Structure 1
Amino acid sequence: MAWRIVHIKEGDILRLRLDNIEIIKMENKLHIPLSDISMIVLEGNRTTVTTKLLSSLSQHNIGLVICDDKYLPVGMYLPYGQYHHNAKRVINQGNWTDNQKAEIWKRVIRQKMDNQISFARYAGVEQERLELMEDLVSNLTVGDKTNREGHVAKVYFDSLYGKSFTRDEDCLTNAAMNFGYAIIRSCMARVVVGSGLITMLGIFHRNEFNSYNLADDLMEPYRPLMDFWINKYVLGDKDYLSYESRQSILSFMHEKITIDDKKMTIDNSMQEFVSSFISSMDNDDPDSILKIELNNFIGEES
């Protein structure tokens, strides 16, 4: 099973060498088996990638993420049509009803909000604000028509970073979250595509200009896990997102979490989560979706 996320800061040429990726930088060559790789993250402006390698990345269901000059992921190259029953799965996806989507979204977004509360409690947020978030979650409706998610997020970020904090602010916290969320999104998109689903057809996100609506839906429970990781390992003395910090964020995907009494990496848990999501939708059983719980991540990580 693929387990590596390869982070290439600067490379001259990336090409296929037998069943390996060959990374050439000046006089140095490095070979990594494609079967070991789940994703490649590229930084820098001088790297050449061969079309033969891109073809093999698709065949091995390997995602390729490209970062801008600020080291933030801005593009993805994903496999196309590699799932063995791709057409059947897409037809089923297109037949999911609005009611099914609303019911499963309630479960998905409930996981995110529960994890936000768990992290806020771990971070020492005062009990009054924890209770406010819990009260908001208790009023969650099918499809979250009253936007409990947005209200909880407001209390959550205010409680952690102060009432003056906004997600548009130019600061290390936002830079780290933007990078971390983009990595989660990329990994989730790779799993969604590898499972034969269309990323554009979401259950809640329906932006006509967004090619990754479904990935944005299913990554939601993982966001607070990344918040925990960033808070513990990235935020500190530096006021910028260093190379070491970006490496630490990437390592998050290899950390262990317990799901249904089984230990697995975050990356592998996404595959299990998406599989349970598909099953719950196809069988019209929203309660059967796996639960991604922050406490089961903190317990493994600590």
Structure 2
Amino acid sequence: MGFRTVIVSSHSKLEYALNYLVYKTVDEVKRIHIHEIHTLIIESTTVSITSALLAELIKQKVKVIFCDEKRNPSSELIPYYGDSISYQRINEQIKWKENIKHLVWQKIVQEKIKQQAYVLSKKMPDEAIILSNYAKEVELDDATNREGHAAKFYFNRLYGENFSRGSSDKINTFLNYGYTLLLSQFNRYIVAKGYLTQLGIHHKNPFNPFNLSCDLMEPFRPFIDSKVTDLSEDNFKNKLISFLNHPVYIHGKKQTLIHAIQIYCSSIFLALNTGKIECIQFLESYE
């Protein structure tokens, strides 16, 4: 499993040679061993990349994210198949029971609201208590939409009464970039385990190829929310990327955020396959 997030942000050519990613510009040539790369972000539209390198990156399960002309993530490279037991995994996924999916979604929404309360608790303990009460009110499959009510209260307290998630301001730019990075990590792990990102447990948008990823990432959004207030426009992308290796606690142990996502997803799959909802592992704390 790689550990580097590599960003290519200027005119260059990327090639494959002897298990290395070769980065070439007019002035320099650099090599990075592919085993070291966890995520490759092609931030500039002036980058050329060979099909041989793309094929090898897919083979070695490196997440590749492409950005548009505004340097915002716009697409990613996903293999047709994950591991050697994809057929078995997809069969499992199709057979997940509706009542278990509803229970898992209830836990996910409860945990998302608890994580929002955790973010507020550092500066607004009274408001955090209100959010904690919202979490207790979440019904099966969140039938009463506590998630939506909690989100409005939470964002207005965190970023101000005039904040709206639909606006094109600085905070929303930071959030959108951070959420996209999160989504790519969930996509990467779900596909690597052999499951389909298209088949969600709650999200069922036929035009969304990442329904399952969108479901599972929800409790991790508040982590990004907590980090964007201190960012500036000239460094927010690198800072948000660095947070993928930020230390967090899950299942009583210190892990990077990337590894915590993997632990969490594995526990979700176990719950969906066995019905043991209590085995789900969520983030416990972070700085």
Counterpart check, 1:297 vs 2:286: yes
Contact 1:185 1:219 in 2 (8 A): yes
User: What do residues 138-194 of structure 1 show as CA deviations (whole Å, max 9, x unaligned)?
Assistant: 111111011100100000011112221111222111110010000000111101101
d(CA) in 2 for partners of 1:11 and 1:196? 35
Q: 1:272 aligns with which of 259, 263, 267?
A: 263
Q: Which residue of the partner structure matches residue 217 of structure 2?
A: 219
Aligned-pair CA distance for 1:211: 0.2
CA contact under 8 A between 2:110 and 2:136: conserved in structure 1? no
Distance 1:258 1:120 in 2: 18
Q: Contact 2:245–2:256 at 8 Å: present in 1 too?
A: yes
TM norm structure 1: 0.92
Unaligned runs of 5+ in 1: none
Q: Partners in 1 of 2:146 and 2:228 — Cα distance?
A: 24
Letter in structure 1 aligned against 2:146: R
**Partner deviation per Cα, 1:215-242 (whole Å, 9 max, x = no partner):** 111111111111112224x1xxx4xx32
1:245 matched residue in structure 2: 236
1:87 aligns with 2:100: no
1:108 paired residue number: 108
Matched, 1:162 2:186: no
Question: Counterpart amino acid of 1:249?
Answer: L
Separation in structure 1 between the aligned mates of residue 11 and residue 35 of structure 2, nearest angstrom: 21
Q: Residue 125 of structure 1 aligns with which residue? A: 124
C-alpha distance in 1, partners of 2:66/2:273? 34
Match of 2:245 among 238, 254, 277: 254
Deviations 1:67-111 (A, max 9, x none): 123322110112231312110001000110211111111111211
Whichever residue aligns with residue 25 of structure 1, its letter is T
CA contact (8 A) 1:109 1:149 kept: yes
What CA distance in whole angstroms lies between the structure 2 residues aligned with 1:100 and 1:260? 22
What's 1:6 paired with? Answer: 6
**Structure 1 residues 173-252: aligned runs within 5 Å:** 173-232=171-230, 234=231, 238=232, 241-242=233-234, 244-252=235-243
| Contact persistence 2:111–2:135 (CA under 8 A) | no
Segment drifting more, 262-271 vs 204-213: 262-271
Instruction: Tell me the residue number matched to 1:66.
Output: 66
Q: Secondary structure in 2 aligned to 1:119?
A: helix
Which sections of structure 2, spanning at least 5 residues, go unmatched? none
Q: CA deviation at 1:4?
A: 1.1
Provide the aligned C-alpha RMSD in A.
1.3
Distance 1:165 1:143 in 2: 28
Percent identity of the aligned residues? 28
Work out whether residues 58 and 82 of structure 1, in 8 Å CA contact, stay in contact via their aligned partners in 2. Answer: no
Q: Is the 8 A contact 1:189 1:199 kept in 2?
A: yes
* AA matched with 1:125: M
- How far apart, CA to CA, are the structure 2 residues paired with 1:158 and 1:69? 32
Task: Tell me the equivalent position of 1:33.
Answer: 33
CA contact (8 A) 1:112 1:224 kept: yes
Q: Distance in 1 between matches of 2:229 and 2:65?
A: 24
1:270 Cα offset (Å): 1.2
SS at match of 2:286: helix
8 Å CA contact 1:15–1:23 kept in 2: the answer is yes
Cα distance in structure 1, aligned partners of 2:199 and 2:180: 19
Instruction: Report how far residue 126 of structure 1 moved.
Output: 6.0
Partner-residue secondary structure (3-state), 2:7: strand
SS of the counterpart of 2:196? coil
Moved over 3 A (4+): none
Per the alignment, residue 52 of structure 1 pairs with 52
The amino acid across from 1:149 in the alignment is E
Using a 3 Å threshold, how does the CA distance of structure 1 residues 135 and 263 change in structure 2: closer, same or farther?
closer
CA contact (8 A) 2:117 2:132 kept: yes
What letter is aligned with 1:289?
Answer: I
In the aligned structure 2, how far is the partner of 1:105 from the partner of 1:167? 22
